[in-house]
């Protein structure tokens, strides 16, 4: 049985101290990066309406989507924040370029989570969508939900009320002679639980089914995934 020399033991001890120190440094950098990420979002007064406009024509919609890149509020979120937004790095090698991620609002803060809203604008100037995401105080993503989107013949808008409820409304959109007509197709209401998860509200009862599976089903019903 080989016995490690004193120099080898000293080397292992030094490496352990370095690893422990590096781990602490990484945690500190993570907190600092989250603070910088959080600073990109400004508080917005509630109630907050998202994607509620109904265009009279397809040309009016195309003009809105072209102008959105220039007129949208908030700050552009760069690759440095990819640790906090899944998919932020996607499309970097695409010939059309990556999607644009834009901060929209710091919706709420509690002792358990920060509730942030950001927009995703594809480079082809269509199919824009808005994401509401809850983060822990350490910057860990707790839950996220697509709350507004534009699709062919479909539009989803959101209302975030003064008491923090999230009301999603879906409209079917029909185009005839370059003019749109809208019909409300569905509406769902959510609240944010104390732990930062989104929970669908059904009448006076809260649906406590497993969040990820339930939320995916809800967004599929809206055609948002």
Structure confidence at residue 178 (pLDDT)? 80
Structure confidence at residue 219 (pLDDT)? 53
Whether 73 has a pLDDT exceeding 90, the answer reads yes
More confident residue, 95 or 53: 53
* 47 band by pLDDT with thresholds 50, 70 and 90: very high
In whole angstroms, what separates CA 181 from the centre of its chain? 29
In our burial notation (b when 16+ CB lie closer than 10 A, e otherwise), range 187-220 reads ebbbebbeebbbbbeeeeeeeeeebeebbeebbe
Q: What is the pTM of this model?
A: 0.77
Rounded distance between C-alpha atoms, residue 173 and residue 54, angstroms: 9
Structure confidence at residue 13 (pLDDT)? 52
The secondary structure of the chain, three-state, reads: CCCCCHHHHHHHHHHHHHHHHHHHHHHHHHHHHHHHHHCCCCECCCCEEECCCCCCEHHHHHHHHHHHHHHCCCCECCHHHCCCCCCCCCCCCCCCCCCEEEEEEEEEECCCCEEEEEEEECCCCCCCEEEEEEECCCCCEEEEEEEEEEECCEEEEEEECCCCCEEEEEEEEEEECCEEEEEEEEEEEEEECCCCCEEEEECCEECCCCHHHHHHHHHHHCCCC
Q: Is 60 left (phi over 0), alpha (psi -120 to 50) or beta?
A: alpha
More confident residue, 193 or 178: 193
The mean pLDDT value for 86-101 works out to 77
The mean pLDDT value for 120-147 works out to 93
* Tens of pLDDT, residues 99-128: 899 999 999 999 999 999 999 998 887 789
Residue located via tokens 């010939």: 95
Average pLDDT, the chain: 81
């Amino acid at each position: 049985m080989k016995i490690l020399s004193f120099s080898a033991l000293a080397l292992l001890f030094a490496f352990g101290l370095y690893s422990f120190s590096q781990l602490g440094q990484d945690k500190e950098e993570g907190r600092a990066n989250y603070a910088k990420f959080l600073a990109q979002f400004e508080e917005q007064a509630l109630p907050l309406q998202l994607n509620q406009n109904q265009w009279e024509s397809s040309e009016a919609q195309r003009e809105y989507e072209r102008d959105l890149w220039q007129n949208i509020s908030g700050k552009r979120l760069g690759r440095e924040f990819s640790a906090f937004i899944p998919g932020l790095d996607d499309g970097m090698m695409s010939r059309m370029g990556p999607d644009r991620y834009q901060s929209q609002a710091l919706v709420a803060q509690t002792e358990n989570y920060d509730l942030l809203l950001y927009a995703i604008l594809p480079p082809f100037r269509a199919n824009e969508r808005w994401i509401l995401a809850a983060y822990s105080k350490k910057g860990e993503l707790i839950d996220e939900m697509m709350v507004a989107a534009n699709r062919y013949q479909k539009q989803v808008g959101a209302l975030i009320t003064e008491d923090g409820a999230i009301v999603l409304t879906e409209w079917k959109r029909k185009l005839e002679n370059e003019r749109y007509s809208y019909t409300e197709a569905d509406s769902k209401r959510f609240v944010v639980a104390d732990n930062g998860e989104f929970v669908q509200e059904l009448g006076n009862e809260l649906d406590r089914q497993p969040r990820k599976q339930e939320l995916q089903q809800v967004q599929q019903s809206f055609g948002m995934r």
